[in-house]
Amino acid sequence: MERPRVFITRRLALEPRSVLGPGIEIDLHDSEAAPPREELIRRARDVSALVPILADRIDAEVIEAAPRLRIIANHAVGYDNVDLATCNRRGIWVTNTPGVLTDSTADMTWALILALTRRLREGELLLRGGGWKGWAPTLLLGPELRGKRLGILGYGRIGRAVARRAEGFDLRVSFTARGGGVSLEELLEQSDILIIHCPLTPQTHHLIGAAELLRMKRGALLVNTARGPIVDEAALVAALESGHLGGAALDVFEHEPAVHPGLLQRDDVVLLPHLASATRETRAEMGRLALSQVELVLRGERPLHAVNEV
């Protein structure tokens, strides 16, 4: 009997065989770079399971090219890269990796808040570029956190974890979420620092656009470690160029891996290449969780972290 095969689209932070049993054949794209689209479709043709990352577009073309496919185990919390309608029609499970990256993402959010408010990027550039002439009372001043208003857009696991950490900085916290908190309009108007932790859905695409950015306090800061398309990057650049916003820190982008050139040119913007979950422990656990869902389905069992019903 032919063994089921799983195609893993990237090198993982753990050895796949440490999770998958010997009865499963592993096809690993052993690279941090994406497989070309044609290669993705070709290697998915005979698989029973697919383990993509969020950057892999698993649309109807890919899914229909894989007649044996039984599960798509996304190596991510989000799953908008997967065509759920086609999976539902075909009876294919789709799973994600919830919960495991809460603390790492909350920690990175705070790293970005501190980098932005204390102007760490500018300070390092000044020092490395030879421009530092010594300590001065007015050098690279930033806002004190104590007493400021932290606005959290999206109050799920990560938003709540960020709020817990805010207590140590003596910040006032407001949030908006389905079924609780303040309205989006109030959040924008009240926040000295706005951080984004809502999921990307059709309703949240460009949720923060030109009108919303102008509604924020003059000099307010924006931090996004959720999903890039929630923020209209062109509108963000315009708000920064006008001086209305005081700065931004982004770990995610609207068209990854591309970044709006207007962001790249600014010293009041901190940019990271989607590193929020990048601890050894978190990335290994994400891989383990995704692969364990594959193991369950290929044994004929129900996955634990399904985002659809088949």
Active site residues: 227, 256, 274
Question: Is the confidence at residue 197, as pLDDT, over 90?
Answer: yes
Which one of 3.10.20.30, 3.40.640.10, 3.40.50.300, 3.40.50.720 gives the CATH number of domain 102-271? 3.40.50.720
- Residue boundaries of the structural domains of the chain: 5-99+280-298, 102-271
Question: Is the confidence at residue 108, as pLDDT, over 80?
Answer: yes
Q: Taken in order 123, 129, 131, 132, is the CA torsion positive or negative?
A: positive
Percent of the chain with pLDDT over 70: 100
Going by pLDDT thresholds of 50, 70 and 90, the confidence category of residue 1 is low
| Distance in angstroms (rounded) separating the CA atoms of residues 168 and 164 | 8
- Summarised one tens digit per residue, pLDDT across range 278-289 is 999 999 999 999
| One-letter amino acid of 186 | E
- Summarised one tens digit per residue, pLDDT across range 216-265 is 999 999 999 999 999 999 999 999 999 999 999 999 999 999 999 999 99
| Distance in angstroms (rounded) separating the CA atoms of residues 194 and 150 | 6
Same fold, 5-99+280-298 and 102-271: yes
| Distance in angstroms (rounded) separating the CA atoms of residues 23 and 64 | 25
Report pTM: 0.94
Judge residue 309's burial from the number of C-beta atoms within 10 Å of its C-beta, 0-12 exposed, 13-18 middle, 19 or more buried: exposed
Query: What H or E segment, with its residue span, contains residue 112?
Result: helix 102-117
Fold that domain 5-99+280-298 belongs to in CATH: Rossmann fold (3.40.50)
Closest CA to 228 of 78, 86, 89, 121: 78
